[in-house]
Amino acid sequence: MDNWIRELESMTERMLAGIATASQEELELFIDQRDAIVEQIRQSILSGGTVEPYRERIAAVLKADPLVQKRVEDIQRENQQGIAKMNQAKKQKSLYDADYAIDGFLFDKRK
């Protein structure tokens, strides 16, 4: 279990070092890898492992959760703004698109 917690600490430190510039893909990869390690720790505890010696280290890792969550929310907000901007551009473009037939007929009368 010590190795998993050490890996979790290392991953978390690397992510926090670059959290301001982390992309959506990097965050997804971090969260997936972290979930896998947490599941291994959980299985170890269920099979009789003790968590007491690691409680403080785990608490320290969990303190990073709000920072990661804030970055995920920032990326979601950026994505929503981008989608809203694209929808607004589509609306503006459709106002200038012609919805009428261009083929016209002229009738001349001769006197």
> How confident is the model over 20-46, as pLDDT tens digits?
998 999 999 999 999 999 899 888 888
- Residue 17 binned pLDDT confidence (cut-offs 50, 70, 90): very high
- This prediction has a pTM of 0.70
Task: Please report whether residue 60 resides in a domain.
Answer: yes
Range of the domain at 68: 2-95
Task: Please report whether residue 65 resides in a domain.
Answer: yes
> How confident is the model over 87-101, as pLDDT tens digits?
999 888 887 776 665
Task: Please report whether residue 38 resides in a domain.
Answer: yes
Task: Please report whether residue 102 resides in a domain.
Answer: no
pLDDT at 52: 84
pLDDT at 82: 94
CA distances from 95 to 9, 83, 85, 98, 103 (A): 54, 19, 16, 8, 20
Q: Where are the alpha helices (DSSP H) in 1-111?
A: 2-17, 24-46, 55-62, 65-96
Task: Please report whether residue 63 resides in a domain.
Answer: yes
